[in-house]
A = this chain, B = another copy of it.
Amino acid sequence: DKTHKIAVIAGDGIGTEVVPEGLRALEAAARRFDIRLEFEHFEFGSCDYYLEHGKMLPDDWFETLSGFDAIFYGAVGWPEKVPDHISLWGSLLQFRRHFDQYINLRPCRLMPGIKSPLADREPGDIDFYVVRENTEGEYSSIGGKIFEGTERETVMQETVMTRTGVDRVLKYAFELAQSRPRRKLTSATKSNGISITMPYWDERVKAMAGKYPDVSVDQFHIDILTANFVLHPDWFDVVVASNLFGDILSDLGPACTGTIGVAPSANINPEGKFPSLFEPVHGSAPDIAGKGIANPIGQIWCGAMMLEHLGYQEAGEAMVSAIERVLADDDKSALTPDLKGQGTTQSLGEKIAAAI
Asked if A196 and B254 make an inter-chain contact with CB atoms under 8 angstroms apart, the answer reads no
- The 0/1 profile, CB within 8 Å of B marked 1, for residues 68-107 of chain A is 0000000000000000110011000100000000000000
Q: A192's contact among B84, B226, B228, by CB below 8 Å, is which?
A: B84
Stoichiometry (number of copies):
2
By a CB distance below 8 angstroms, the chain B residues around A145 are 196, 200
- The 0/1 profile, CB within 8 Å of B marked 1, for residues 216-241 of chain A is 00000011101110110000000000
By a CB distance below 8 angstroms, the chain B residues around A141 are 195-196
Give A164 to B155 CA distance when docked, in angstroms.
11
Asked if A252 and B231 make an inter-chain contact with CB atoms under 8 angstroms apart, the answer reads no
- The 0/1 profile, CB within 8 Å of B marked 1, for residues 285-312 of chain A is 0000000000000000000000000000
Decide yes or no: A159 and B162 within 8 Å by CB, A117-B230, A191-B85 being known contacts. no
By a CB distance below 8 angstroms, the chain B residues around A231 are 117, 255, 260
Asked if A155 and B200 make an inter-chain contact with CB atoms under 8 angstroms apart, the answer reads yes
Give A352 to B254 CA distance when docked, in angstroms.
39
Taking the closest CB of chain B, its distance from the CB of A168, in whole angstroms, is 12
By a CB distance below 8 angstroms, the chain B residues around A93 are 193
By a CB distance below 8 angstroms, the chain B residues around A230 are 117-118, 230, 252, 255-256
Stretch of A46-54, A146-154, A266-274 on the interface side: A146-154
Stretch of A6-14, A17-25, A242-250 on the interface side: A242-250
Does residue A144 face the partner (Cβ distance < 8 Å to B)? Answer: yes
Does residue A161 face the partner (Cβ distance < 8 Å to B)? Answer: yes
Give A193 to B138 CA distance when docked, in angstroms.
9
- Ranked 6 nearest A-B pairs via Cβ: A227-B255, A223-B251, A153-B163, A157-B196, A119-B119, A143-B196
Q: Which residues of A contact B (CB under 8 A)?
A: 84-85, 88-89, 93, 116-120, 138-139, 141, 143-145, 150-164, 190-197, 199-200, 222-224, 226-228, 230-231, 243-244, 247-248, 250-252, 254-256, 260
11 interchain pairs (CB within 8 A)? A84-B191, A84-B192, A85-B191, A88-B192, A88-B193, A138-B159, A139-B194, A156-B196, A226-B255, A230-B230, A230-B252
